[in-house]
Chain A
Amino acid sequence: MIATQRSVSGSSQSPRSPSSQPYLSVSVTDPVKLGNGVQAYISYRVITKTNLPEYQGPEKIVIRRYSDFVWLRDRLFEKYKGIFIPPLPEKSAVEKFRFSAEFIEMRRQALDIFVNRIASHHELQQSEDLRTFLQADEEDVQSKVSDVVLGKEKPVEESNPEYEKLKHYIFELENHLAEAQKHAYRLVKRHRELGQSLSDFGKAVKLLGACEGNSLGKAFSELGTKSETLSVKLQKEAHQLLMNFEEPLKDYVRAVQSIKATIAERANAFRRQCELAETTKLKEINLNKLTLMRSDKVGEAEIEYQELKAESEEATRMFEMIVRLMNEEIVRFQEQKTLDMGIAFHEFAKGQARLANGIANAWRSLIPKLEACSSSS
C-alpha cells in the first residue's frame, strides 16, 4: 500500500504528458519472519510497477530485508551528496520489541515511505542503485552496512553567515522536535492508561451495582458497561495517535538527522576543496621557482601541477554542487514538512474530536436512565 500523502514531491515537478505518463510506483508489503532465534529477521515483498524503459517489465517483485534498505540508503548517500536522502526507520534496540506486530507494521510503513520518496525524487529516482534494489534477484544483491564517517577535526570551516544560521537552525530544531516527540509518545501511553483504568472502574462499578440491586443497581450496571465501551475507544485512539502523530514526528526527527549527515558531508567537501586549493597553490609556486631556475624537473612538475589543478577544480565543483543541491533541498524539505505536520495536526485533531464526542455521547445516553431511576424511587 502506498501512503501517498507522504510522497508528494517538492516544488520542482516535471510537467507530464497525459497520454504516456511515465510512472514508477513501489510498495513494501507482506512482512514475513524468517530464520530462527538470534538470526531471525523480517523480510518484505517489494513490488515495483513501472513503464520506465530502464526497468525490466511492467511489474517486478523481489524480497528484501532491512539491511538491504540500509545498503540502498548508504549507496545513495555516497553518490548524491548535497541531496537530503530520505531517512530510514531506526534499528530496534530492544530484542523483545523487534517482532511485535505493531513494530513490524510501523517499520513496513516507514520503509514503504522511504522507497517511495526515493522513487518520486527527480534525481534519486534515476539512480542505478535504486534499480538494482528494486530489480536484482536475491543472490546478486550484496548487503553492505557502511557507516558514514563524519569528519572529526574541523580546522577549516565555511564562513557563510546564512549557512551558519541554517546549521544552528537544524541542530536546535532536532532538540525541539525530540522533546515534542517524547511528549507525543507519552500521550499515547496516557490514552492507554486511561482506557485501562476506565475498564477496571467499569468492572468494579458493575459489581457494586449487583450488590445494590433495584434501580440504583441497574444504573451502576449501565455505568459500568459504558465505562468498558469507552475503554475500547481510548485504546483505538491510542493506536491512531501512534500511527498518525507520533510516527510522523519521529520521521521529522529522522529527516533532520539525515540533514545533519549531509551537513557533515558538505564540511568534508569544503575541507577537501581548501586542502587541494592550498596544495595546488604550493605546487604552482614551486613550478614557477623551477621554471626560473630552468631546472630539468620542470616537465615533471608541470605534469604534477596540472593533475593537482584538475583535482582541485573537481573538488571545487563537487563542493559547489553540494551547496547548490542543499539549497534546493532545504526549500523542498521545509515545504514537505509543513505539509506533513499540517496533515499530522489535522489527523490528531480529528481523532481527539471524535474521541471526545464519542465519550460525551456515551455518557449522555445514560442521563435519561438515571433520571428514570430517581423518579421511580
Chain B
Amino acid sequence: MMGSDNEGFEEAHLYASKEEMENLVIDNPLNDSNSYSNYRSALSSAISDTSHPLAPSILVTPADSDPILSPPPYRDHLYHNSPTESSYFEPPPFGDNVGDVNGVENHSLNLDNFGRFSRSASWSTSSSTDSEYVKITVSNPLKEQEASNSIVPGGGTYVTYLITTRTNVPEFGGVEFSVRRRFRDVVTLSDRLAESYRGLFIPPRPDKSVVESQVMHKQEFVELRRVALEKYLRRLAAHPVIKRSDELKVFLQVQGKLPLATTTDVASRMLDGAVKLPKQLLGESSVVVAPHEVVQPAKGGRDLLRLFKELKQSVANDWGGSRPLVVEEDKEFIERKEKINDLEQQLSNVSKQAESLVKAQQDMGDTMAELGLAFIKLTKFENEEAVFNSQKARAHDMKGFATAAVKASRFYRELNAQTVEHLDTIHEYLGLMLVVHSAFSDRSSALLTVQTLLSELSSLESRAEKLEATSSKVFGPGKSRNRKIEDLKETIRATEDAKNIAIREYQRIKENNRSELERLDKEREADLLNMLKGFVHNQVGYMEKIANVWTKVVEETSYYAKENS
C-alpha cells in the first residue's frame, strides 16, 4: 500500500522519466534572466502545442457516476428501514497519534477513507470516469540540515516530506515514484503555477504560518503541515488542467533540487526594475514591453515603468473622458461575477449558522451526558443507602434512565462529528471563492495591459504622423530625422507585436475563466447535493438510534403510566 515503503519501485522507470524531465527543462543555467525568459516561452509554447487542455474529455463527470454514491449500504437502510451498522454512519477511524518527527506514521489512508465515507468533494478527489488516476501521499517528515550556507552561519534545519505518487497516467512515465520536498519547494510550485495558468481556479497552497511554527509544538505543527500539503497536492492532481502541467510533474518526479525557478530568482529581478527605470526614462534602453513579459502582469520591483503606464491607463479608464479601446464587454461574465459575489455572501452566512448548529448539537450531547452521570451517582447512592424496597425500585429505574441518557449523548456526539465533516463542504467552497477572485483579477490585469498597449500604440502612431508631417519644415540634417522616423516605426512594430500577444493572452485568460466557471458550477452542484444527502442520512440514522434508546425506557417505565390512568 501507500506509504513510506517504496515496494515495487523501479529505478529504471525513474531514470527514464528523469531524462524526459530534464529535456523539458531549459538548456541554459537558471541564473540569469535571459534563460528564465527562454524557459517561460518554452513552457508556454509547450502548453499551446498540446491539445487544448480544456477539452471536454477532462471535464469533471456528473456525480451519479461517482462510485461513492451508489453502494448499497445506505440504500438498503432506506428500504428496509432498519438502522444498519453501515459504515456510512460510524465515525471514521481517525488515527490521531502524532508521532516523533522522524518517524511519523502515514495517516493519509485514514484521511482518504474518511473522505470517501462522508463525502466526495470533487475538488479534493480525482473525479474522472475513465480509470486514470493520480494518487498522492505525503509522509515521513525528516529534519535535514541546511547545506553549508555562507549567509546563515551555523546552518539552519528544515523539514522535508516524502511525496509518493501512484498513477497510471502515461505522461508521468512511471507507476509509482517518490521525491523529497520541503515547504519552500511547494511555495515555488504554487508561484510558478499561478504564473502559467492565469485565469484558472488554482487550489490555494497551505499558508506559511510563520507565527504558528514558532508557537506550536514542533511535532504538531509538522503533522498539521503534512496533512495540509497532502490535501493541496491532491487538489492539484484533481484539477483537469493542472494535473497535466509540467510544473506538477516536475515537482512530483524530479529527484534532488526542484528544477523550477525559485521565487528568490524571480525576486532578484527586482533589482532589474530599479536598474532599468532610469535607463528607460533617459531613453537608453527599450521602453517596450518585451513579448514574453506581456504574458505576466506588471510586478512591483521588476517593471516599474510598465507599472506606471498601466496605472496611468487605469486612472484614464476611471476618470478619463474617452472610453478605452477594449473594455470588459462580456455581459455574461459580468452577470456571473455578480452571482459569484452573491454566492459567496450566502455561503458565508450558511457557514456561520452551520457553526452554531454544530455547537448546539455538541452542547446537547454534553449536557445529556452530564445528566446521565448525575443519575448514575444517584443510583449508586440509593443502592448503598437503601432501606426500603421502594428505594431499590427507584434505583433500578434511575439506572435504566441514566444508561439511556449516556447512550443518547454518545449518539449525539457521533452525529455531530459527522455533521462537522459534511458541512465542511461549505467552508471549502468559501475558500474557493478567494481563488475565483484571484482568477478574475488575472483577467482584469491582462485587460489593463492590453488597454495600456493600445493607447501607447495610438500615441506612438500619432507621433509618427506628426514627425512625417513636419519633415519638409525641418532645417537640419535629413538623415537624423529619417533615423528618428525609422526608430519610431521600429518601436511601433515592437509595440504592435506586444499588443497582439497581450490580446492573445487576455483571450486565453477569458476562456480559462469561462470554462472554470462552468466546471465550478457543475462540481459545486454535485458537491453541495452530496453534502445535503450526507447530512440528511446522518441525521436520520442517528435520530433513529436515539429514538430506540428512549423507546426502551418508555416500555420499561410503562408500569408508572398505567398506575395513573
Contacts and interface: CB of A to CB of B under 8 A. Distances in A.
Contact of A190 (B78, B360, B526): B360
Interface string B381-403: 10001011011011001101100
Interface residues of A, number: 68
Interface stretch (B85-93, B137-145, B351-359): B351-359
A187 B557 contact: no
A163 to B, nearest CB: 12
Interface stretch (B22-30, B41-49, B61-69, B274-282): B61-69
Nearest to B559: A342
Interface in A36-51: none
The winner among A191, A335, A337 for most chain B CB atoms within 10 A is A335
A377 interface: yes
B375 interface: yes
A266 to B, nearest CB: 17
Nearest to B398: A341
Given A223-B532, A346-B558, A356-B547, A338 B397 contact: yes
A207 B371 contact: no
A360 B560 contact: no
Interface in A318-355: 331, 334-335, 337-339, 341-343, 345-346, 348-350, 352-353
B390 A360 contact: no
A350 to B, nearest CB: 5
A366 B345 CA distance: 25
B224 interface: no
A190 B547 CA distance: 18
A183 to B, nearest CB: 4
Contact of B397 (A208, A216, A342): A342
Contacts of B350: 201, 204-205, 207-208
Main secondary structure on chain A at its contact with chain B? helix
A165 B360 contact: no
A187 B368 contact: yes
A220 interface: yes
Interface string A194-214: 101110110111011001101
Given A190-B364, A337-B394, A345-B553, A370 B374 contact: no
A346 B557 contact: yes
A375 B64 CA distance: 7
B82 to A, nearest CB: 13
Given A194-B360, A356-B550, A360-B543, A201 B354 contact: yes
Interface in A1-41: 4-5, 8
Contacts, number: 210
A176 B547 contact: no
B554 A377 contact: no
Interface stretch (B98-106, B128-136, B193-201, B534-542): B534-542
Given A211-B342, A359-B539, A363-B543, A374 B63 contact: yes
Given A339-B560, A356-B547, A183 B64 contact: no
A214 to B, nearest CB: 8
A363 B78 CA distance: 12
Contacts of A186: 367, 370-371
Contact of B537 (A172, A197, A367, A374): A367
A180 interface: yes
A353 B408 CA distance: 11
A197 to B, nearest CB: 4
Nearest to B423: A201
B62 A183 contact: no
B457 to A, nearest CB: 42
Contacts of A343: 557, 560-561, 563-564
Given A201-B353, A201-B357, A349-B404, A377 B63 contact: yes
Nearest to B63: A374
A321 B354 CA distance: 64
Nearest to B339: A211
B374 A179 contact: yes
Contact of A180 (B378, B525, B559): B378
A233 B462 CA distance: 77
The winner among A165, A201, A220 for most chain B CB atoms within 10 A is A201
Contacts of B393: 338, 342
Contacts of B554: 346, 349-350, 353
A366 B561 CA distance: 35
Contacts of B370: 183, 186
Contacts of A166: 387
B267 interface: no
Given A180-B378, A356-B546, A363-B543, A370 B532 contact: yes
Given A343-B561, A363-B536, A208 B357 contact: no
A193 interface: yes
Interface string B150-171: 0000000000000000000000
A173 interface: yes
A200 B356 contact: yes
B343 interface: yes
Interface string B175-213: 000000000000000000000000000000000000000
Contact of B346 (A165, A182, A208, A356): A208
A101 to B, nearest CB: 25
A357 interface: yes
Given A208-B346, A373-B529, A377-B525, A345 B367 contact: no
B360 A219 contact: no
Nearest to A169: B385
Contact of B557 (A201, A207, A345): A345
10 contacts: A165-B385, A173-B381, A194-B361, A201-B356, A211-B346, A216-B529, A338-B391, A342-B559, A349-B401, A353-B551
Given A191-B364, A363-B536, 7 more contacts: A177-B378, A186-B371, A194-B361, A338-B391, A343-B560, A345-B557, A374-B69
Which 6 pairs show the lowest CB-CB distances between chains A and B? A342-B560, A349-B553, A356-B547, A360-B543, A346-B557, A353-B550
